[in-house]
Structure 1
Amino acid sequence: MIRSLLRRLWHLPAQQCRSQVEPGWVTMRDGIRLSTSHVWPIDYQGDAPTILIRTPYGAEGAWSSSRLAARLIAESGYHVVVQNVRGRYGSEGVFQPFANETEDGVDTLDWLERQNWHQGKVGLFGGSYLAYAEWCMLAQASERIDAVVSAISSRSLYHVFYRGGVFALQNAFEWGLTVGREQSIPEREVDLERGLKHWPLIEGDRVALREVPWLREWIEHNRKDEYWEAIEPSLPTSLPPTLLIAGWYDFFLPTQLDDFHSLQEIAENNQSPAPELIIGPWSHGLPAHPKWWRQELNGFILRESIQHLNRTFRESKSDIPAVPVRYFSAGDEHWHQSPTWPPAEIQLRSLYLTARSGKGSLSWESEKETLDSTLGFTHDPKRPHTTLGGALFGSKAGVKDQSRVNKSNEHHLVYDSKPLQTELALVGSIQLNVFFSSDAQDADIYAHLLDVSPDGRIENISEGTQRLRWRNIADSVATPNFLAPGQTEEVQVVFAPTARTILAGHKLRLEIAGSNFPSYDRNPGSKEEPGLATDDQLLKSEHLIHHGVNADSKLTLSIRPNHRV
C-alpha cells in the first residue's frame, strides 16, 4: 500500500513484480558478520542485475529509507542487497566512521559473486554516507561494478569538514553526535547548542552528550594529513555508467563537482561513458525552499536512479538525457541542460567593492572608485556574526530570509549593488578577492552573497570562508602563515557554486564578517589553535577592507551571457 502510493507520488516506473525480503549475514575477512538482507524480485521475467546498498542508518523495518528504496528498486526487476555497515543496527564489530568501508565493501562484493541467484551484473546505489561507501568499493573494484548512482556525497571528506581551513562546526557536531555508536541518537537527547558554544571546542562533545572520539579527531586533524588521506578513496581506474546527483545548498556540492570533473577525465582517457550530473534545488535531503516542494529529493533520486539503471542494464530508450548535465536555476525556476559543467558559454564579470560616505557598494567596472578608501569591522569571538540557512542539515538549511537575523552592524560590512535594470543569471563559480588588514595575527573572512528584493526580503545565494593562517598554503601543510598586524595583503575567498537568476529591480548584496557561527567555528583572534583555545584566550580584533586604485577588491561572478546587466 505504502509503496504503491509512493510509486504514484514520486512518478516512479510501473511496478514489474512483487518483492520479498530474506534477512541474513555476510562474514568479513576478520570474521565479523554484517547484517544483510536480500530483496528478491518475485516472478520477474527477465535478467535481474543486483543493486548493492550499504548503510549506517539501519536497513531493517518497514520505515527504513534504505529498505523502502530496496523494495521499490526490486519491484522494478532487480535483486537488491541492503547491508548495515560494521557496528551498526545489528551488524557485529565496532563502528568507526569511514574507516572500514573499503575492505568490508570488497568482501561483500566477493560474497555477492558467490550467490547462485546473482546473474553477474552489479550496480551501486545510495546517497550521503551510503554513496561514500560506494566510492570505497569503486576505488578498489571498479572493473567489477557495472553502474553507479551517487547522490549528495563525495570522496573528499576533508573539504567537507573544513572550508577554507575553517571547521564546519554545526554540521560536524550535529552528525558526529547524533550518528551514535550502534544506532542514531534522537536530536532531543543532545544539547547541541551548549556544545557548540563551549570553549575549548574540543570538549564540546562532552558538554553536549558524551566524549565522541571521532569528533575530537576531526578537530585535532585540522589539516589534510595522513588521517584524512587514509579515508579518502582513490579515483577508480575505469568508470562504469555513473550518475551524480547534487544540491545547490548541500555541503557536499563543491567536492562533488570536483569528483565529477575527475570522473570526466577518467571516462575520456578510457573511452568510457561520460558521467551524468544533476544539480537541483536541494539542501542535504530536503528542498532548499518551501516553494520547491514539488522537487522532493528522495523521490527524485529514486526515479532518476531506476531510469539510469534501466538505461544501463536494459538499454532502455526512454528518458535518455539529451546532454550529460542538468541543473536547476532559482529565480527563473527552470531546469537547464548543458554538455559541460560549468556551461561553456559562461562569462566572468567582476563587481568592485567601493566605499562612499562610509557605506559599501558594489560597482561594475565603469563605476569603479578611483580614490583609495577603507571600511572596518570588529571580530569578537564572544559575540560572533551569524546567518540563517545555507549548507546545513535538516530544516535549518537552504534559502532563508536574512532580514530576520539580528545582526550587529559593527561586526560585518555590507556592500550593495544598484537595482538591476534587467535579469542577471549567475551560473557557476564565485570568487572574492579583497585587500585586507588587521590588528590580529589570525582572522577568518566570511563572505555571504545575497539577493535583495524590492519588498525587503533578503535571500542567501552562496557563501565562502577562509582562515587566514592557512591562506595561500596547500591543505597538507601544517605550518601556519600568520598575519603581520597592520599589513595589507590580497586574500581570496572561494564560494560554493550556484545557479540563480537575479530579477530586474533586485540588488546583489555582499556581506563580509569575521565569523559565521555556529555554521563554522570561531577564530580566537590569536595564534591559539581554534579547537583548543579557552575562554580566557579569546581576543577581540579590528579588521579593514581596502578599496580603490591600489586595492582592487572585487567579487567575480560567472554569468550566463544571454542575461545582461
Structure 2
Amino acid sequence: MTEEPRREHLCRAGDGAVLRGRIWECANPEGLVVIRTPYDADQHETTARSWNARGYHCLVQDVRGRYRSAGAWSPYAHEEDDGGRVLAHLLDEYEGLPLVLFGASYAAHTALEAARAVARDGAPPVSAIIALVPALGLAETAWDTQGAPQILHRIGWWHEHGRHRRSQPPLPAGELDRRVAQAHELGVVEAAEHWDWSPSTLTGWRRLWSAERVDLASRYGRIDAPLLVISGDDDFFHDDARRLARTWPAPSHFASGPWGHRLVAGVADQVLRAGIRAAGGLTRIVDPWLAAQGLPGSPAEWTEVLTAASVPHTRSTLDSASGTWRHEGNSP
C-alpha cells in the first residue's frame, strides 16, 4: 500500500475549540482509522503507518487541551462530545469509507465515547471498535475491582500526564515513594495540597477520587458496532476489560495474553517474547478479526468462532509456552 505524506487535520468542537491532529493517508484506501490520544499525535506515526499498510487512512488527534489541540485539559470530561464532533466531520470528509475506532488505555476510552456519541445522535454507525487495555473512566483508574486505591499509579500518572498541556518527566522514584507515604498518612486528597499542584489540578484530583464506576450496560447499551477488546493478564485494568467485553450489546471478542499494560512491548523475558512472536502476536488477532467484520484485514480459519449467532461474546487466549492462540466461542 503506497504511503502518502501526513498532513495536518483540524476539527472545530461544539464550543469552537480547534482540535488538531495528523492524518496519514494511503493510496486507494478501503477504510479510515481514528485514534484520539492525550499522548501526542506526532508520536504515533509508526502506528498510523501500520494502518496505512492495511489499507486505511489513519487520523491521530490530540484530545482537548493536550499538545496542539485547544481548550482546557480535564481527563475523562469531554471525550463524548468532542469525539462525536470529530466523527461527524470525518463522515462528511471521507464519505463512504468504513470507520474504525482504535485506541489503547485512555485512547480506548476516547474510542468508546466517540461511538457513544454517534449512537446518541443517530448518526451512521462506526464499523468497528478496537480497545486495548482500556482505562474506562476515572473511578476505574483510581480503584481496583476489590475497592483498593491505586495510589502509586494515580500519583505517577497525574503528575506526568494530568496537569499540563504536555506530559512532564516522571517523578523520581524516591519522590514518588514519599508522596505515596503522604497519601497513606494524610489521605490521598489532603496529601496533594502539599505537592505544589495548581488549583485546577487539585480540582481534577478531587474529582478523580469521588467519581463513580461506569455502568457499562447503561453507558454503551445503544452501540451496535462490533468490539475487539485486547487485555493483558497482568494489566491492572484486566477485570474491567473483561467486564466491557461481557456486557457489550453487540458482538464482542476478548483477547488476552501474558503481558501487562504496555502489552507485548512491556515483556522483558526473552523466552516469553519468543513464544508470543511464535504465536503471531496481536497481529494474529487484529487482522483476522477485521476481516471477519468485512473490513481490510487478513482472513484466518479461527474466525469461524465469531460467526455463531448464538455466541455473541467470544475470546482468544495466548499460550506462549506452546506458541499458539486458543480460540473459544464462550463469553469472556
Give the drift of 1:210: 2.6
Say yes or no: does 1:242 pair with 2:195.
no
Of 176, 183, 199, the residue aligned with 1:192 is: 176
The equivalent residue for 2:206 is 216
Give the drift of 1:182: 0.5
The AA in structure 2 aligned to 1:19 is: E
Compared CA separation, residues 126 and 208, structure 1 to 2 (3 A): same
Distance 2:285 2:325 in 1: 15
The equivalent residue for 1:37 is 22
Give the drift of 1:325: 1.3
Compared CA separation, residues 328 and 231, structure 1 to 2 (3 A): closer
The equivalent residue for 1:285 is 262
TM-score by structure 2 length?
0.81
Compared CA separation, residues 332 and 157, structure 1 to 2 (3 A): farther
Q: Residue by residue, what CA displacement relative to the aligned partner does 1:205-244 show, whole Å, maximum 9, x if unpaired?
A: 354563532223323x1x73xxx56999811424223211
- SS of 1:187's equivalent? coil
Contact kept? 1:55, 1:130, Cα under 8 Å: yes
Contact kept? 1:192, 1:208, Cα under 8 Å: no
Q: Residue by residue, what CA displacement relative to the aligned partner does 1:348-392 show, whole Å, maximum 9, x if unpaired?
A: xxxxxxxxxxxxxxxxxxxxxxxxxxxxxxxxxxxxxxxxxxxxx
The equivalent residue for 2:134 is 153
Compared CA separation, residues 159 and 238, structure 1 to 2 (3 A): closer
Say yes or no: does 1:144 pair with 2:125.
yes
Of 80, 83, 91, the residue aligned with 1:102 is: 80
Compared CA separation, residues 71 and 110, structure 1 to 2 (3 A): same
Contact kept? 2:26, 2:56, Cα under 8 Å: yes
Written as runs of structure 1 = structure 2, the 5 A alignment for 1:333-344 is 335-341=325-331
The equivalent residue for 1:182 is 165
Contact kept? 2:288, 2:303, Cα under 8 Å: no
Compared CA separation, residues 103 and 281, structure 1 to 2 (3 A): same
Moved more, 162-171 or 331-340: 331-340
Contact kept? 2:106, 2:134, Cα under 8 Å: yes
Distance 1:111 1:172 in 2: 34
Say yes or no: does 1:77 pair with 2:55.
yes
Listed as ranges, the gaps of 5+ residues in structure 2 are 306-313
Compared CA separation, residues 280 and 157, structure 1 to 2 (3 A): farther
Q: Residue by residue, what CA displacement relative to the aligned partner does 1:508-555 show, whole Å, maximum 9, x if unpaired?
A: xxxxxxxxxxxxxxxxxxxxxxxxxxxxxxxxxxxxxxxxxxxxxxxx
The AA in structure 2 aligned to 1:139 is: R
Compared CA separation, residues 36 and 333, structure 1 to 2 (3 A): closer
Listed as ranges, the gaps of 5+ residues in structure 1 are 1-15, 268-273, 343-565
The equivalent residue for 1:550 is none
- SS of 1:75's equivalent? helix
- SS of 1:134's equivalent? helix
The AA in structure 1 aligned to 2:253 is: E
Compared CA separation, residues 303 and 111, structure 1 to 2 (3 A): farther
Written as runs of structure 1 = structure 2, the 5 A alignment for 1:454-465 is none
Q: Residue by residue, what CA displacement relative to the aligned partner does 1:162-201 show, whole Å, maximum 9, x if unpaired?
A: 2333211111111111113211111146821111111313
Written as runs of structure 1 = structure 2, the 5 A alignment for 1:250-329 is 250-263=235-248, 266-267=249-250, 274-286=251-263, 287=266, 290=269, 291-294=271-274, 295=276, 300-301=281-282, 304-312=285-293, 313-314=295-296, 316-318=298-300, 320-323=302-305, 324-329=314-319
Distance 1:327 1:20 in 2: 37
The equivalent residue for 1:172 is 154
- Root mean square deviation, CA, Å: 2.9
The AA in structure 2 aligned to 1:340 is: N
Task: Work out the percentage of aligned pairs sharing the same amino acid.
Answer: 22
Compared CA separation, residues 156 and 325, structure 1 to 2 (3 A): same
The AA in structure 2 aligned to 1:252 is: F
Distance 1:235 1:319 in 2: 30
Distance 1:120 1:151 in 2: 23
Give the drift of 1:30: 0.5
Q: Residue by residue, what CA displacement relative to the aligned partner does 1:412-442 show, whole Å, maximum 9, x if unpaired?
A: xxxxxxxxxxxxxxxxxxxxxxxxxxxxxxx
Distance 1:315 1:118 in 2: 21
Contact kept? 2:288, 2:299, Cα under 8 Å: no
